């Protein structure tokens, strides 16, 4: 009996040790899995932004060509269409030449009447010459195109736009460029420095950018158009400012996933279960925007709550 009890005790001790070891290995594996997911997310974003080696100097070559070409060849045709409210106007804010070209070309390929479409591209000073040169060398057939740089909007300054002051703050610069290695993000895409660019916030100033237009289709530079978009201009918005694709199916686009409801002001004014929408393609009624003074509402929230207090991820 003593011998049997001794063996049982040894087996029990061995099992307990094995369980402890398995739990330790499981914990280590879970940590490794989470770390690998973070690395995969970063790698996917790098790959999405990367260019083939032969295109690395594309912007530089286009810029050089723009400044060495004759000034007589630097004007786009159909400039009389730029403020015609009867035509289909697109707003595209981008610093990526190829991405902007894909949006424009894919839209016109499927357009039944290309001559009715007008593209307004806004970029930064660094990519302005390259963007203009690309569309001068590859002009859209029959469609009108306009390329502007942010610096042309002299009214857009920190005294008018609260977000400009916030984007220049030391906190925001540190947040996007000095990520602590020991504090991985839940979603690393939020630390993309592109969010420091005013191009990312320019969409809130559409009525000021297009004072003579009544409707404009805002498109991101990461879309590919696959059918004629002309019918969108016939959609009755019924007094609403914008029409967009509803994304309730995606958990992220619920307000409680990205708005900071621990802030009492946000908790009071917003429904945490309300659905957001994707910004990839939005139709804006600029007349209704002006009537409701949406830009002032945007400024109100920028002044009441800083960016770091407004969103969960900052």
> Rounded to an integer, what distance in angstroms lies between the CA atom of residue 141 and that of residue 114?
7
The matching CATH number, chosen from 1.10.287, 3.40.50, 2.30.38, 3.90.550, for 74-306 is 3.90.550
Place of tokens 């609403």: 240
pLDDT in tens, 117-167: 999 999 999 999 999 999 999 998 899 999 999 999 999 888 888 877 777
| Helices and strands counted in the chain (H then E) | 12, 6
Which DSSP string corresponds to 111-164?
-S-GGGEEEEEEE-TTTHHHHHHHHHHSPPSS-EEEEEEGGG-TT-STTT-HHH
pLDDT for 281 equals: 92
Distance CA 154, CA 208 (A): 11
Structural domain spans, the chain:
74-306
Task: Express each pLDDT in 56-82 by its tens digit.
Answer: 788 889 999 999 988 777 899 999 999
Report the alpha-carbon distance of residue 174 to residue 168 in Å, rounded. 10
């Amino acid at each position: 009996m003593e011998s049997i009890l001794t063996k049982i005790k040894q087996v029990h001790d061995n099992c307990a040790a094995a369980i402890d070891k398995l739990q330790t290995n499981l914990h280590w594996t879970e940590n490794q899995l989470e770390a690998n997911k973070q690395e995969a997310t970063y790698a996917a974003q790098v790959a999405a932004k990367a260019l083939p080696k032969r295109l690395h100097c594309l912007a530089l070559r286009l810029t050089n060509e723009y400044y060495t070409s004759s000034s007589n060849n630097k004007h786009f045709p159909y400039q009389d269409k730029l403020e015609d409210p009867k035509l289909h106007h697109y707003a595209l804010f981008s610093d990526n030449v190829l991405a902007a070209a894909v949006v424009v070309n894919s839209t016109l390929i499927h357009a039944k009447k290309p001559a009715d479409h007008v593209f307004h591209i806004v970029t930064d000073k660094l990519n302005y010459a390259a963007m203009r040169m690309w569309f001068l060398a590859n002009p859209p057939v029959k469609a009108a195109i306009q390329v502007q740089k942010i610096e042309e909007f002299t009214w857009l300054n920190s005294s008018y736009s609260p977000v400009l002051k916030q984007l220049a703050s030391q906190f925001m610069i540190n947040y996007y460029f000095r990520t602590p290695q020991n504090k991985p993000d839940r979603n690393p895409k939020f630390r993309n420095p592109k969010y420091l660019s005013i191009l990312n916030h320019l969409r809130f100033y559409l009525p000021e950018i297009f004072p003579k237009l009544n409707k404009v289709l805002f498109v991101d530079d990461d879309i590919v158009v696959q059918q004629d978009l002309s019918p969108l201009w016939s959609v009755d918005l019924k007094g609403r400012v914008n029409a967009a694709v509803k994304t309730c199916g995606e958990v992220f686009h619920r307000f409680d996933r990205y708005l900071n409801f621990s802030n009492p002001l946000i908790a009071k004014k917003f429904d945490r279960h309300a659905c957001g929408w994707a910004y990839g393609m939005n139709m804006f009624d600029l007349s209704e925007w002006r009537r409701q003074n949406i830009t002032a509402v945007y400024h109100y929230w920028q002044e009441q709550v800083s960016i770091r207090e407004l969103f969960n991820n900052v």
